[in-house]
Amino acid sequence: MELLQLRYFLTVARTLNISHAAKHHMIPQPAMSKTISRLEKELGTPLFYRYKNKLSLTDEGVAFYRSVSLSLSRLDNAVLEMRQTDAPLSGTLKILVRQHRSTIVDCIMAFKRLYPQVSFQISYEQDTADLQDFDLCISCDQPDETFSSSSRLITEQLKLVVPATHPAASSRQVRFQTLQQEEFATISQGSNLWQQTLLQCRQAGFEPRVSITCSDLHCLIKYIGAGMAITLGPEIAWKDLCDDSIAFVPTEPELFRSTYVFWSRLKTPSRLNDVFRDFMVTYFQMQVHK
């Protein structure tokens, strides 16, 4: 899903006319129709009712229009504000990324296209000696008491991550009581995901067996795809890392995790810091609607 694709959708939603939208963006009508069809396929739901060459928004289309319109408006306003300043945005941001590593890569790539003079120093270390070296921390847990300012980036459902060949892969929901004989994988037994897994298993009356502990998420998912274990994971954060060998199954009870951007109260946020934080919030909002 691309920004231009979303802008095409907004124009079609406002005009309710494929031809007018195509003319506005100076592209052929078939290309506009194909773009909207591809967007609907990616979202897994129709956005428009089509009847005798007339369009109207479905309920899902109305909800998506409101979300995309708000997100792109905020993004456009941020870009306009920066372009109206005398000096181009520049400098270096030091970021500690503990969650959503893949999403942050895509976010920084999009930001760099707008502000090529900005540099980033990014760390993925879980145990960092001096957090005060960092301007921002992306985490679901507060790094320490000094990183007391935060903005929520995303709240996503946690699901059971199993091999595609697992009996539970086709289930609508899985209860933890049925997982007593399973072998589990984890990045770390001190991680937030494992603590949630441990809590749910103990409430179901058993202690989970850990067969694989692997600090590399790509390798961890590969072990799961090979049928060696299962785990609990966030579908949005992990979706780009998984292939057809992996299935995400909702749990009973439903579980959720929120990820935040934190910054230290001991530092005065720079203009670059403020702009990138706002950009991230908008970018993550758009990921929810992919």
Distance CA 144, CA 272 (A): 23
Sequence-distant (6+) residues with CB within 8 A of 148 are 142, 262, 264, 265
- Residues 169-194: pLDDT tens digits? 999 999 999 999 999 999 988 888 99
| Reported confidence tier of residue 290, pLDDT bands at 50, 70, 90 | low
Asked whether the predicted pLDDT for residue 127 surpasses 60, the reply is no
| Average confidence score pLDDT of the chain | 87
Which whole number is the average pLDDT over 44-50?
A: 88
Residue ranges and CATH numbers for the domains of the chain are 3-61 (1.10.10.10), 91-153+258-288 (3.40.190.10), 156-257 (3.40.190.290)
CA 177 to chain centre: 29
- Residues 65-101: pLDDT tens digits? 888 888 877 777 666 666 555 567 889 999 999 989 8
Per-residue pLDDT at 86 = 55
Contact predicate 179/204, CB 8 Å: yes
Note the pTM of the prediction, 2 decimals: 0.67
